[in-house]
Structure 1
Amino acid sequence: MGEADDAAGDLRAAGLLLALYTLQGIPMGLSGAVPLLLAGRASYAEQALLSLASLPFSLKLLWAPLVDAAYVRRWGRRKTWLVPTQLLIGATMLLSRGRVDAWVAAAAPPVPRIAAYFAALYALCATQDVAVDGWALTLLSKRRAGWAATCNGVGQSLGYALSYVGFVALHARGRVSLAAFVGACGAGFLLTTAAVALGCRERAEAGAAVAPRAAYGRALAALRLPAVRRLAVVLLTCKAAFGCVDGAAQLEAVRRGLPTEAVAALAPPLLLASVALPLAAARWTAGPRPLSSAFLWGFRLRLALNPLTYVVLRCVEAAPASRRAYRAYAALALLREAGSTLMFTSMMAFFARVADPGLGGTYMTLLNTLANVGAKWPPPSLALWGLGALAGASGDPLRVELLACTAAGGLWVVGFPAFLRRLEAVPRERWRPGARKAS
């Protein structure tokens, strides 16, 4: 009976986490759709500036200990930050819908303003993410702690897809304007947040009362752990092979002639894939060796797609309206989604397994920050800037960057599999600040 009750509670907790992570993905998806809308009216340098809007996600460790330590006990450790942050996101989107639409539709778009707007939304989403990650460590039972990674992968992908893939599809068919979509998302944010605030009761966490200064100290202590440092080496290097592809492939496809409507037509399969893939891979990514199995296979798949991306883009350029080029691009997009899902979900599952619940969202934020910094190095902004700089020196600058990224990824594949296996073998207590001294 107790097991049944526990399973039912975990299902409710998973549903809550799924809803919160889905909300988090909505502003991110819209920020990803804007560069596509500006293709042809914004230079590579301006596109590089837009890509920096996600920078707050790489900096959230600066305020994560404060989110963990400062809260109103009567309201709840997580809801103290979660509810006001989400209300701010919803109100901002609802009140600014017309202005954002005018900025994006302008003949000479004010790119710095657009970048600042989405950077502000990203900062609020980053704060929400700290609270949700911390809640996830205690909301689920130990037996089903791996569900948090699946909820993260499915929810964030669903929110991103609804506001990016879904919006692009509807907008290309003339069924919705940017102002209407942003306003609807803002209203949805407000309604959902009100339901969470009124309908979800947060139970007290043991040992939750930590002074902000002590929280920062414990975060620094975790960063000094040998196991965390070794993991940092992985996180800061593994994405170097994909910065150029992720930052420029879609923009290059549109620039080389692929119609925006064709990209929009990929909305249904990509939306389905973004939700189904984390669920399909859940057992594998949440297994005992997520890094040396699922993560490594996802990396190999993504790396193999680098040269294939160049081939597909050449096909698009040669015959942008052909069915063969479109099918090749669609297959490439789905394979990239599969590889990214394996890498992201297995990484999050490993984080949830080793994170110290006593540090709450700060520990998860520490690991996520390392991953986000790694995803930005080389950053998409640098990749896009590099394409613009190489345009005058090379007949096809994308080929140069793809070759460099593929070479970096090949070296990573050769050197890191054994390193990942040793990392997974580190006992759990070695990931806890103070455990070394105690032993």
Structure 2
Amino acid sequence: MGDQARQLAEHDKRPFLLLVMLYFLQGIPIGLTFGTVPFLLKSMVKETTFTQLGLFTMATYPYSLKILWSPIVDSMYNVKIGRRRSWIIPVQLVSGIILWIIGIGVSRNVIFAGVDNSFHPENVSGGVTASKLNITTLTAIFFILITLCATQDIAVDGWALEILSQDSLSYASTAQTIGLNTGYFLSFTIFLTFNSSHFMNKYIRTVPQEFGLISLGGYLQYAGIIYLVITIYVIWCTSERPTDIPVLPTKKSDEKVDDFIDYNVDTNPSHMSLVNVYRSFFEVLKLPSVQSLMGIHFLTKFAFQCNEGATNLKLLERGFKREDLAITVLIDFPFEIIFGYYVAKWSNDSSLSSRPMTRPNALTRALVGETGTLTPWLWGFLGRLTAAFMASILIAQFPTDGLITKKYFVMVILQHLLGSFMTTVQFVGICAFHTRIADPVIGGTYMTLLNTLSNLGGTWPRFFVLSMIDRFTEHHCIHLGRIMSEHSEEQSCIAIEGKWVMTQDGFFITNAFCVTVGCLLYFGFIKKKAQQLQKLPISSWQCH
């Protein structure tokens, strides 16, 4: 199996590309919700607090709650359409329509009023202000969109276990990485770049204009069309099970039980009623191995929350142009795609029991332990921890005069490259591990459970961490060289023609706390537990 696992099988290339397209669709609303909207809120509505941004992050919660309805997606379907297509088709159609409607609402200043003023001067009635913006409404709208996206993810994760053969199963995580990252960067980095009038006037246009190439409302409508086009393709050009996937051999007597997963199992059995799927779901949760993995997922992403949730926004706050920041992230994109493939091979090669492994040196053993399936994931954790530490240096070294030098710009790029690459390493590594241990009998539910646990680790602390930044940030009113303690509000300070000055940035305290906790958790719990989990036999992850 060693040589076969390193290459994508020829008969799996078309299903692989289909998975890339479906995960690409997921990346579009994810990029908008996780990246673009918070970016626009902080750059265009200066008085937006990190606590308000934390409130908007609640729109991402469906990705951490989808396990509640994943058994429904796994067990209720139309036989003629297919188990997975029964959900993918209608959910994507509705998502496309909603994106189109949201786009019209943004263009007409009904939703996110003022964000597209430069594109529609007839609608201008002042800039984007906190008084015009209803964070709660904006959060609710994107909460609905992400709920649909999460439902599609349940079906696609389950489908990935069924349309790829065993030889290429590990490349499901590669398809997810390529598709999600492409959709994410299109909706975040590429959109912000071409939405910027500064970027267009500096690099593209010969005659300056006050607006960029594409508005948020226009992009949302285009995204809706993309959803509908790909969904039509799924309707007319795909089937539930590709006919060219070869039948896998049954288990031979000399094969080790621990290393065998029977992918010929019927993943569409008649007894998989809704009740049985929920029962299986709770049986999975009772497994000691799953409970240990749950503990790791619940704690592992706390260390990175301040860096990944606030560093870019802090750069914007201090005067870094959003289009220049978008360019730094744009540079990450080819690295994400190229390295995503090799990280998948790395994770796969680490799991091949028949392949002799070189014994790691003393330093490697001290950092990540013995070589195994989770070795790339452990290296990714240390890399993200390093990127988080570098974030504090990056913000502290921001030029006081606001002039961004080439040296500082390179520092920003390197910090982003390290963080994004190591995030990819962890993402692909843990997805490959999930794919390896998931029981295909309840494939969609099992994969959704594992992915939900992973998402939850990055969701639950975000609001609290962003709120900590505001809590530990202190301002004073300076008037005629003196601190005016009686003027403790910005508006009061401005009223006396004072200067509202930040005397303590809560970012540094919060990030230091997150990194410290991350180091203690990693060397005290995470590394040891990951070593134990990667050595468990496959039977430890199955409840049938």
Instruction: Report the TM-score when normalising by structure 2.
Output: 0.76
Instruction: Give CA-to-partner distance per residue, 1:371-396, whole Å, 9 cap, x none.
Output: 11111242x22111111111139712
Aligned partner of 1:373 among 456, 463, 469: 456
By how many angstroms is 1:62 displaced?
Answer: 0.6
Give the conservation status (yes or no) of the 8 Å contact 2:19–2:176. yes
SS of residue paired to 2:463: helix
> Residue 14 of structure 1 is aligned with which of 16, 21, 38?
16
Q: Does 1:345 align with 2:397?
A: no
* 1:91 CA drift (Å): 0.6
Q: In structure 1, what residue type is equivalent to 2:427? A: F
Q: 1:247 aligns with which of 309, 320, 332?
A: 309
| Matching of residue 402 in structure 1 with residue 405 in structure 2 | no
For the residues of structure 1 that align with 2:460 and 2:162, how far apart are their CA atoms? Answer: 32
Shift of 1:41: 4.4
Percent sequence identity over matched residues?
31
Equivalent residues of 2:189, 2:327 under 8 A apart: no
2:529 and 2:417 map into 1 onto residues whose CA distance is 29
What aligned pairs does 1:21-170 form with structure 2 within 5 A after superposition?
Answer: 21-31=23-33, 32-39=35-42, 40-101=46-107, 102=109, 103-104=111-112, 105=115, 106-107=128-129, 108-170=132-194
Post-superposition offset of 1:290: 5.6
Quote how far apart the aligned CAs of 1:181 are. 0.6
Specify the SS of the correspondent of 2:28. helix
- Whether 1:197 aligns to 2:203 is no
Quote the residue 1:390 is aligned against: 472
Deviation at residue 65 of structure 1 after TM alignment:
0.2
Deviation at 1:81, TM superposition (A): 0.3
Summarize the Cα distance change of 1:192–1:235 in structure 2 as closer, same or farther, 3 Å threshold.
same
Question: Which residue in 1 is equivalent to 2:263?
Answer: none
Report SS of the residue matched to 2:504. Answer: coil
SS in 1 for 2:314: helix
Q: Does 1:427 align with 2:526?
A: no
* Equivalent residues of 2:474, 2:505 under 8 A apart: no
Q: Deviations over 1:249-270 (max 9, x none)?
A: 1111100111112112225312
Aligned mates of 1:353, 1:136 — CA distance in 2: 12
Query: What amino acid is the match of 2:168?
Result: R
Contact 1:100–1:114 (Cα < 8 Å) also in 2: no
2: CA distance, partners of 1:303 / 1:120 = 32
Amino acid at match of 1:226: P
Q: How high is the TM-score relative to the length of structure 1?
A: 0.94
Please give the secondary structure, in 1, of the residue aligned with 2:22: helix
After TM superposition, give the deviation of residue 109 of structure 1 in Å: 1.7
What is residue 224 of structure 2 aligned with on the other side?
186
Query: CA, structure 1 residues 306+206, in 2 after alignment: closer, same or farther (shift >3 Å)?
Result: closer
Q: CA deviation at 1:308?
A: 1.0
Partner SS, residue 77 of structure 1? coil
Tell me the secondary structure at the aligned position of residue 81 of structure 2. coil
Provide the C-alpha distance between the structure 1 equivalents of 2:415 and 2:269, rounded to a whole number of angstroms: 46
Conservation of the 8 A alpha-carbon contact between 2:77 and 2:87: yes
2:372 & 2:345 partners in 1: Cα distance? 10
Distance in 1, Cα, partners of 2:453 & 2:541: 15
How big is the shift at 1:419?
2.0
Q: Which amino acid aligns with 1:13?
A: P
* Letter aligned with residue 132 of structure 1: V
Question: Which shifted more, 201-210 or 336-345?
Answer: 201-210
SS of structure 1 residue aligned to 2:214: coil
Aligned counterpart in structure 2 of residue 277 of structure 1, from 323, 331, 339: 339
Contact 2:162–2:241 at 8 Å: present in 1 too? no
Structural RMSD (CA): 1.8
Whole-angstrom CA distance in 1 between matches of 2:49 and 2:149 = 27
Query: 8 Å contact 2:185–2:330 — kept in the other structure?
Result: no
The Cα shift of 1:418 comes to 2.9
Is the 8 Å Cα contact of residues 161 and 270 (structure 1) preserved in structure 2?
Answer: no
Taking the aligned partners of 2:39 and 2:225, their CA distance within structure 1 comes to 24
Q: Distance in 2 between matches of 1:53 and 1:215?
A: 27
SS at match of 2:320: coil
Find the residue that maps to 2:398 and give its secondary structure: helix
Which structure's residues are more often helix, by fraction? Answer: 1
- Counterpart of 1:215 (choices 273, 277, 289) is 277
Contact 1:290 1:350 in 2 (8 A): no
Look at both structures and tell me which one has the larger radius of gyration over its CA atoms. 2
Asked if structure 2 preserves the Cα contact closer than 8 Å seen for 1:354 and 1:428, the reply is yes
Cα distance in 2 for partners of 1:268, 1:397 equals 28
Maintained 8 Å contact 1:243/1:377: no
State the structure with bigger RCO (CA 8 A, min sep 6), 1 or 2: 1
Mapped contact 1:42–1:109 kept (Cα < 8 A):
no
Instruction: Give the corresponding residue for 2:295.
Output: 233
Gaps of 5+ in 1: 435-439
Counterparts in 2 of 1:319 and 1:367: CA distance versus 1, 3 Å: farther
Structure 2 counterpart of 1:437:
none
